[in-house]
């Protein structure tokens, strides 16, 4: 069984944002109210988070999440990382550290910024004062298991920081984080007709460091998932507009939808 909950469907400023309010988004549609990046999944009996945004506390409260077995980071932009300290509440409940996975280069930055949160085998866990995260740095050449969950991390290209995506259970679920491009070798490894593909949009036109809607559709066509969820949307992305664009894109065998906070998919 797979369960996926989109905890936060927004880009870095959230929606509404301080400078532009709701921007192009209809303020009367509550699906346009977006917290920053966060995803919860249960696959093969493993409960895990992808990224910890500054909104993590509210995300865990709202979705009644009190335990996770693992945590995967995509990159070290603040909207994906800086809620990390909230994890100590989960440590407090479980009394145990959480296994945390990131690329070698991302782990190095996490260690510099939040070294006080990292545990080692000798650590005395005291979650009253700090979170306890057991670091596992990976390189991109091999898949690994967390419990029964098969994890293959993939490098994404063109973002302004190194960014990782994740292929779970040999392509059953594919998670793409902030990116502009996916190199052909990596793309080859994800083309397995996933049950679910999650990709970030940010703005419909794209930016120097983020793929736009047409680029997403190009990758979605190649990856050919059964379902596509479009995530990580800024104030330029009205929910109904993106829904209409998905219908217009008319992907042959893919049901494509924009995300909203709390969107839950089970199969």
Residue 233 or 256 with smaller CB distance to Zn ion? 233
Q: How far is it, in rounded angstroms, from Cα 6 to Cα 264?
A: 6
Residue 79 or 195 with smaller CB distance to Zn ion? 79
CA atoms within a 13 Å half-sphere pointing along the CA-CB vector of 20: 12
Residue 178 or 195 with smaller CB distance to Zn ion? 178
Q: How far is it, in rounded angstroms, from Cα 57 to Cα 243?
A: 29
Residue 10 or 127 with smaller CB distance to Zn ion? 10
Instruction: Specify whether the CB–CB gap between 51 and 80 falls below 8 A.
Output: yes
Part of the chain binding Zn ion (CB under 5 A), chosen from 79-87, 120-128, 187-195, 252-260: 79-87
Q: Is residue 34 close enough to count as binding Zn ion by CB under 5 A?
A: no
Q: Minimum distance from CB of 74 to Zn ion (Å)?
A: 8
Q: Is residue 178 close enough to count as binding Zn ion by CB under 5 A?
A: yes
> How many CB atoms sit inside 10 A of residue 130's CB?
18
**Cα torsion for 177, 180, 185, 191, to the nearest 10°?**
60
Part of the chain binding Zn ion (CB under 5 A), chosen from 40-48, 72-80, 105-113, 244-252: 72-80
Quick one: DSSP state of residue 220?
A: H
Q: Which of 22, 164, 18 is nearest to 81 (CA)?
A: 164
Q: Is residue 261 close enough to count as binding Zn ion by CB under 5 A?
A: no
Q: Is residue 77 close enough to count as binding Zn ion by CB under 5 A?
A: yes
Q: Minimum distance from CB of 78 to Zn ion (Å)?
A: 9
Q: How many residues bind Zn ion (CB under 5 A)?
A: 3
Residue 32 or 91 with smaller CB distance to Zn ion? 32
Residue 86 or 178 with smaller CB distance to Zn ion? 178
**Cα torsion for 215, 219, 220, 222, to the nearest 10°?**
140
Tell me which residue has tokens 């996975």. Answer: 101
Q: How far is it, in rounded angstroms, from Cα 245 to Cα 214?
A: 10
Q: Minimum distance from CB of 123 to Zn ion (Å)?
A: 30
> How many CB atoms sit inside 10 A of residue 240's CB?
13
Residue 102 or 146 with smaller CB distance to Zn ion? 102
Pairing of strands 133-138, 144-146: unpaired
Q: Minimum distance from CB of 92 to Zn ion (Å)?
A: 28
Part of the chain binding Zn ion (CB under 5 A), chosen from 61-69, 70-78, 101-109, 118-126: 70-78
Q: Minimum distance from CB of 205 to Zn ion (Å)?
A: 16
- Binding residues for Zn ion, rule: CB under 5 A, are 77, 79, 178
């Amino acid at each position: 069984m797979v369960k996926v909950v989109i905890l936060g469907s927004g880009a870095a400023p959230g929606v509404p944002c301080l400078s532009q309010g709701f921007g192009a988004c209809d303020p009367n549609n509550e699906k346009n109210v977006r917290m920053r990046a966060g995803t919860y999944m249960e696959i093969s009996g493993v409960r895990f988070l992808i990224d910890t945004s500054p909104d993590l506390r509210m995300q865990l409260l709202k979705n009644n999440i009190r335990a996770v077995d693992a945590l995967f980071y995509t990159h070290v932009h603040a909207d994906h990382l800086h809620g990390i300290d909230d994890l100590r509440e989960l440590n407090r409940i479980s009394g145990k550290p959480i296994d945390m996975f990131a690329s070698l280069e991302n782990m190095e930055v996490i260690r510099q910024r939040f070294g006080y949160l990292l545990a080692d085998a000798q650590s005395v866990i005291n979650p009253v004062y700090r979170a306890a995260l057991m670091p596992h740095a990976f390189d991109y050449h091999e898949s690994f298991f967390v419990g029964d969950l098969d994890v293959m991390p993939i490098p994404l290209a063109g973002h302004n920081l190194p960014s990782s995506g994740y292929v779970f259970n040999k392509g059953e679920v594919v998670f793409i984080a902030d990116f502009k491009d996916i190199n052909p070798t990596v793309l080859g490894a994800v083309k397995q007709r996933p049950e679910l593909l999650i990709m970030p949009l940010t703005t419909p036109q794209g930016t120097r460091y983020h793929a736009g809607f047409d680029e997403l559709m190009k990758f979605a066509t190649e990856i050919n998932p059964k379902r596509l969820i479009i995530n990580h949307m800024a104030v330029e992305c009205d929910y109904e507009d993106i829904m209409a664009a998905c219908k217009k894109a008319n992907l042959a065998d893919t049901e494509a939808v924009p995300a909203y906070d709390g969107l839950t998919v089970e199969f």
